[in-house]
Structure 1
Amino acid sequence: MIPVTSFAGKTVAVFGLGGSGLASCHALRAGGAEVIAADDGADRMTDAAKAGFITADLRTVSWAHFAALVLAPGVPLTHPVPHWSVLKAREAGVEVIGDIELFCRERRRHAPDAPFVAITGTNGKSTTTALIAHLMRVAGYDTQMGGNIGTAILSLEPPRMGRVHVIEMSSYQIDLTPSLDPSVGILLNVSEDHIDRHGTIANYAAVKERLVAGVKPAGTAIVGVDDGFSRAIADRLDQSGKRVVRISVKNPLADGLYVEHEAIMRSAGGARSEIARLGGIGSLRGQHNAQNAACAAATALALGVKQDVLQQGLRSFPGLAHRMEQVGRLGNVLFVNDSKGTNADATAHALSSFAEIFWIAGGKPKAGGITSLAGFFPRIRKAYLIGEAASEFAGTLGDNVPHDMSGTLEVAVAQAAADAEASGLKDAVVLLSPACASFDQFRNFEIRGTHFRELVQALPGVERVV
């Protein structure tokens, strides 16, 4: 745990008592603050009271004595409308911050030069975060990983020299971290997402920009420049005097890192050199993972990792569950769990990685559906459609892609496995990359992906991929 000493002797309201909210309560109390805990859910209020925290309905108490409102990232700060607790705080002139802001203040108080890597982007955040943490561990660093990837930041060990914090940040978390100041900041990409929480894509991109704009003067901003928003952000950072490392997987760069023929290349001052190879690394398959790997490599190099150690770390990276996870093989058929492909943009990365695809898609649909994926339809031998989106997706596929209305994941896996095995194709892939949220049939994408893995591994003759 990281005790939050910056509010010692003060009273802090915490709203949103999920994992990060409760961790904030414990860290604030450990640092000497008085905590008033609140949530819209009665069960969470009960759990906080059982943990020994004072709970209250923040609509009925005086805000005059609160030093801050620590808000969980899932609670609306601005759009579609600010949560009532945010309005109460603003009326009282109380600052609204998040748990990563508390971390940043503690780091500045106790270990301002301790390495702090912050990662954001519309897609690829978790894989890049996990890969950077893996590389730093291989290099011998005491590495703490958390944030949006799962472990609340205040549940990690405190910052100190020789210990690196590798933190995934959503746009919601950036919004609640006004003094964000990583030593290495990474912006992978920007595409349309979370507009309901930011109003417009321009607002969303501006929030993402704050992470790399906050990099310390001696630090490094790493920016993927294969989309227009991110290119413009990199240019602005350059003009402001930041040290910027540009990353591309689409084009060679005159200055930066790019991927060419499965190699990560570095270009500077007219000279080019190869720094690592990605060929044969199944956990980093596909162009999107090449970008993740290049950004992770740039981070490792910025923190002093040697090239041979970098290559060793890339080759030993096991990958993340539900993100292009190879879960089984049946003869020539590979089964891939990409349940994290919850929108068309993420699924495009998966479809671009294979040529003979038996595609399981559907769930709770998102705006735009799968029309943007038409360029990948020639790769799809057959689609198996599930959930609420099945009819809509069938209409989009039309006569271009053979498809079954499978309805459920159980039926889809059985049908896809049988068809893929019968096809005789050498490189057949049964791919779960739904291009949808899971909430119509599963509580989250992790449960959906785990169920897919279990269904695959229960098929007769399937061997697990090690």
Structure 2
Amino acid sequence: MIPITSFAGKRVAVFGLGGSGLVTAEALVAGGADVVAWDDGEAGRAKASAAGIHVADLRAEDWSGIAALVLSPGVPLTHPEPHWSAQLARAAGVEIIGDIELFCRERAKVAPEAPFVAITGTNGKSTTTALIAHILKAAGRDVQMGGNIGRAILSLDPLTPERVYVIECSSFQIDLAPSLAPTVGVLLNLTPDHLDRHGTMEHYAAIKERLVARAAWAVVGVDDEWCEAIALRREKAYEAYDFSGTDRISASHAVSQGMFAQGTDIVSITPRGSTNIIASLDHVRSLRGAHNAQNACAAIAAIRRLGISARVPAVHIRTFPGLAHRMEEVGRIGATLFINDSKATNADSTEKALAAFPGGIHWIVGGKPKEGGIASLASYFPRIAHAYLIGVSSDDFAATLDGKVPYTRCETLENALTAATENAARSADPQPVVLLSPACASYDQFPNFEARGDRFRDLVLALPGLIPATSNKGH
């Protein structure tokens, strides 16, 4: 745990007592703060009380004596309307922050030179974060990884000058971190997402830009117009390092320093236009597709900004095991490949999975749909041999696919996998793919995408004749 000493002797309100909220309260107490915590759910309150945290309804508090409200990132700050706790804090002139902000203040106080890599974007955050941490660990660095992936940031080992913190940040977390100033800030890409919480794409993009605005080094993708505009603004302010999952960076973007993918090669480009191949993704099954080439470019660029030789990521990228639930190769039966992409909770993320295979895709899709559904994926429909519809989105998705892609209404994941496995086995395609890439949230049938992906993996591993992928050990 990272004790938060910056609020020692002060009264701090904490709202939201899920995993990160409870850790936050404990870290504040460990640092000497007087904490009063609350949650709208009885289970969260009971867990905090059992952990020795003072729990009391914040609506009955005297806010004039509170130094800060630490808000869980899952609690609305602005849209569709501020949570009642945020309204109370604002009315009393109390600052509203989150656990990332507490980490940033503690780092500035006790170990400002500790390397801090922060990663955000609409898609690819978790893969890029895990890849950076993997390469740094393989290179012998003391690495802590967390934030929006794995462990809550304040549950990580205490700050030291040499310990590297690799932190995934969601837009919700960035919105609660006004002093966010990482050593290296990585912004991967931007497409519409979470607009119910941010109101407009402009507001969403502005929040994401904060992660690189005060970074010592900005590493920004240029594969979409939003990020390209941000990259140009950053370069006018200070040195930046831009990257692309294609060769767009060399064709249309004047860079100070950059990196792009050319097929499976990662290529470095200088301001004078000279290029050098610095790594290859050939045979790296955990990094299939152009989207993962973009992630690899970002990871290598970030690592180089920490003063590590380009030869290091080139070697260790080959051993990256991949991320559970994101293009995770579960195994094979004959020529049929089974892929768990349960983390694809929107169409843009699923697009990356469909683009990674030329055809013969047996697509398990559906759940609680996002705005726009799957209409944006129409250009990939010719690659889909058959679609297997699950969840509450089935009617809408059937209407989109009708006359364009053969489909079966399967209702459940179990039925979908059975049908997909049978059809793939009869397929004439040289390498059929059974792909779970739902393009939907999981909440209609599963508590989260992890539970959905775990269920898919378990079902696949139980299939007769399956040869498991070696990279799945430990998931």
The aligned counterpart of 1:221 is 218
Partner letter of residue 423 of structure 2?
D
- Residue 464 of structure 2 corresponds to residue 449 of structure 1: no
Match for residue 459 of structure 1? 463
Contact kept in structure 1, 2:2 and 2:155, CA below 8 Å: yes
Distance in structure 2 (CA, Å) of the matches to 1:259 and 1:164: 27
Q: Distance in 1 between matches of 2:425 and 2:202?
A: 46
| TM-score, structure 2 as length reference | 0.96
2:31 corresponds in structure 1 to 31
Q: Does 1:262 align with 2:259?
A: no
The amino acid that maps onto 1:62 is: D
Aligned to 2:171: 171
Aligned to 2:382: 378
Which whole-Å CA distance do the structure 2 matches of 1:43 and 1:405 have between them? 37
1:7 partner SS = coil
CA distance in 2, matches of 1:399, 1:311: 45
C-alpha displacement at 1:93, in angstroms?
A: 1.0
Structure 1: 5+ residue stretches without partners: none
340, 344, 352: which is aligned to 2:343? 340
Contact 2:246 2:294 in 1 (8 A): no
Deviation at 1:160, TM superposition (A): 1.7
Structure 2 distance, partners of 1:39, 1:66, is 17
2:232 aligned to 232, 235, 241, which one? Answer: 235
Partner of 1:286: 289
The equivalent of 1:246 in structure 2 is 242
The Cα shift of 1:52 comes to 1.1
Tell me, in whole angstroms, the C-alpha distance in 2 between the residues paired with 1:396 and 1:91. Answer: 47
Q: Name the aligned partner's letter for residue 396 of structure 2.
A: E
| Unaligned segments of structure 2, at least 5 residues | 471-475
Match of residue 407 from structure 2: 403
**Partner residue in 2 for 1:121:** 121
Whole-angstrom distance in 2 between the partners of 1:350 and 1:220: 30
SS at match of 2:435: strand
Q: Distance in 2 between matches of 1:402 and 1:308?
A: 47
Q: Secondary structure at the match of 1:327?
A: strand
Distance 1:308 1:138 in 2: 12
The 8 Å contact of residues 222 and 228 in structure 2, kept in 1 or not, is answered as yes
Q: Taking structure 1 as the reference length, what is the TM-score of the superposition?
A: 0.98
Question: Counterparts of 1:79 and 1:252 in 2: how far apart (Å)?
Answer: 35
Q: Distance in 2 between matches of 1:91 and 1:211?
A: 27
Per the TM alignment, residue 51 of structure 1 is displaced from its structure 2 partner at its CA by: 1.2
Query: Where in structure 2 are the equivalents of 1:18-417 lying within 5 Å?
Result: 18-215=18-215, 219-240=216-237, 242-254=238-250, 255=255, 256-268=258-270, 269-355=272-358, 356-417=360-421
Contact 1:384-1:416 at 8 Å conserved across structures = yes
Q: Residue 427 of structure 2 aligns with which residue?
A: 423
What is the deviation of 1:110?
0.9
CA separation in 2, counterparts of 1:54 and 1:342?
A: 36
Match of 2:473?
none
Query: In 2, distance between residues paired with 1:343 and 1:257?
Result: 27
Per-residue displacement from partner, 1:264-318 (whole Å, max 9, x unpaired)? 1011022111111011100000111111111001011111222332122110000
Deviation at 1:261, TM superposition (A): 2.2
Asked if structure 1 preserves the Cα contact closer than 8 Å seen for 2:24 and 2:154, the reply is: yes
Q: Secondary structure at the match of 1:154?
A: helix
Separation (CA, whole Å) in 2 of partners of 1:261 and 1:38: 51
* Greater Cα offset, 151-160 or 202-211: 151-160
Equivalent AA in structure 1 for residue 283 of structure 2? G
Q: Which residue of 1 aligns with 2:7?
A: 7
Q: Is the 8 A contact 1:252 1:260 kept in 2?
A: no
Any idea what SS the aligned residue of 1:158 has? Answer: coil
> Residue 9 of structure 1 aligns to a residue in which SS?
coil
Matched to 2:350, the amino acid is: T
Please say if residues 223 and 248 of structure 2, whose CA atoms lie closer than 8 Å, have aligned partners that are also in contact: no
- Residue 5 of structure 1 aligns to a residue whose secondary structure is coil
What is the alpha-carbon root mean square deviation over aligned residues?
0.9
Q: Which moved more, 1:445-454 or 1:252-261?
A: 252-261
Q: Distance in 2 between matches of 1:307 and 1:446?
A: 33
Deviations 1:108-128 (A, max 9, x none): 111111100000000010010
**Structure-2 separation of matches of 1:42 and 1:407:** 33
> Shift of residue 98 of structure 1?
0.4
Which is further off, 3-12 or 252-261? 252-261
**Residue 350 of structure 1 contacts residue 433 of structure 1 at CA under 8 Å; is this kept in 2?**
yes
Q: Distance in 1 between matches of 2:83 and 2:119?
A: 26
Distance 2:378 2:114 in 1: 47
Q: 1:252: Cα distance to partner? A: 4.4
* In structure 1, C-alpha distance between the alignment counterparts of 2:265 and 2:394, rounded to whole Å: 39
Secondary structure at the counterpart of residue 64 of structure 1: helix
Q: Distance in 2 between matches of 1:137 and 1:7?
A: 32
Instruction: State the identity as a percent.
Output: 58
What is the Cα deviation at residue 253 of structure 1?
A: 2.8
State the secondary structure of the residue aligned to 2:9.
Answer: coil
Tell me how far apart the structure 2 counterparts of residues 372 and 127 of structure 1 sit (CA, whole Å).
Answer: 23
CA contact (8 A) 1:252 1:259 kept: no
Give the SS at the match of 2:330: strand
| Distance in 2 of aligned mates of 1:422 and 1:235 | 51
TM-superposed CA distance for 1:23, in Å, is 0.8
Q: Which string of whole-angstrom CA distances, capped at 9 and with x for unpartnered residues, describes residues 218-258 of structure 1?
A: x2101111101000001111112x22111112324344100
Report how many residues are paired.
462
Distance across 1 between alignment mates of 2:268 and 2:248: 9
Q: What one-letter code is carried by the residue in structure 1 that aligns with 2:240?
A: V
